[in-house]
């Protein structure tokens, strides 16, 4: 029962696990790096890390079309609920068993104002334990923080982390994050969408693999990796 993760560009991800389609931060409309259209993607669940427009993205349209349950922090869920969206609110440190696995919200150092300026609560990452026991950490938009070492104690199979700099960790801090998290595999995201977050991911991957035992998977938008 493997889990497949697809990078759609920027921070948009898709997971196929336990027979469910899970979208993460589904920013497609207006995303110059998007490899798919919001109208074409299936979704049983949608995870939203924080309230910024490049992460909330097409959540409302996809959820209305598919009937997907949106999981995010309490404030974002309230905001979405007022728009007729089915939601399940959680908060930092809180976990819940969902049909696709056990999902815990983790710390992220960032902002979270919603597109209309509403308060979006605390930004978050997600720690997913799949139904076959794989540990996947989706960091969300974040800076480096020391408690990544505690997340690493979960013995991560995969970490998905930003490397774009300016708004999130850049390559230097993302390397330090890998050293704290010690995942078996890592996928970098949130880079090269715009000039402001342009990075040499190949050089970063080479440095990570020189200095750690973590295997880097450089995906192009639309490509997938299977967590085994």
- Provide CB contacts within 8 A for 82, sequence distance 6+: none
pLDDT of 98 higher than 80: yes
Per-residue model confidence (pLDDT) at position 199: 98
Q: pLDDT tens digits, residue range 35-76?
A: 999 999 999 999 999 999 999 999 999 999 999 999 999 999
Cα separations in angstroms, 136 against 5, 41, 67, 110, 151: 10, 22, 25, 20, 10
Give the chain's mean pLDDT.
98
Per-residue model confidence (pLDDT) at position 147: 97
Q: pLDDT tens digits, residue range 144-174?
A: 999 999 999 999 999 999 999 999 999 999 9
Average pLDDT for residues 106-121, to the nearest whole number? 97
Per-residue model confidence (pLDDT) at position 228: 81
Confirm if 48 and 90 have CB atoms less than 8 A apart.
no
Count other C-beta atoms under 10 Å from residue 226's C-beta. 9
Q: pLDDT grade, residue 225 (50/70/90)? A: very high
Q: What is the pTM of this model?
A: 0.98
Could you tell me which residues are beta bridge partners of residue 160?
Answer: 138, 187
Domains of the chain and CATH, by start: 3-219 (3.60.15.10)
């Amino acid at each position: 029962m493997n889990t497949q993760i697809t990078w759609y560009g920027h921070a948009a991800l898709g997971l196929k696990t336990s027979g469910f389609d899970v979208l993460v931060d589904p920013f497609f409309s207006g995303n110059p790096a998007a490899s798919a259209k919001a109208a074409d993607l299936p979704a049983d669940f949608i995870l939203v890390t924080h309230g910024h427009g490049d992460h909330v993205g097409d959540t409302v349209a996809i959820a209305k079309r598919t009937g997907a349950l949106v999981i995010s922090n309490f404030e974002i869920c309230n905001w979405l609920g007022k728009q007729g969206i089915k939601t399940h609110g959680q908060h930092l440190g809180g976990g819940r068993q969902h049909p696709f696995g056990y999902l815990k919200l983790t710390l992220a150092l960032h902002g979270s104002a919603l597109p209309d300026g509403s308060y979006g609560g605390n930004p978050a990452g997600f720690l997913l334990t799949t139904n076959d026991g794989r540990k996947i950490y989706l960091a969300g938009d974040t800076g480096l923080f020391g408690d990544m070492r505690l997340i690493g104690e979960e013995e991560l199979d995969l970490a998905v982390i930003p490397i774009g700099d300016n708004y999130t960790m850049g390559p230097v801090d993302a390397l330090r994050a890998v050293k704290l998290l010690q995942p078996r595999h890592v996928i970098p995201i949130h880079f090269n969408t715009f000039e402001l977050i342009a990075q040499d991911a190949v050089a970063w991957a080479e440095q990570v693999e020189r200095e750690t035992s973590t295997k880097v998977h450089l995906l192009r938008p639309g490509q997938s990796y299977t967590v085994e």
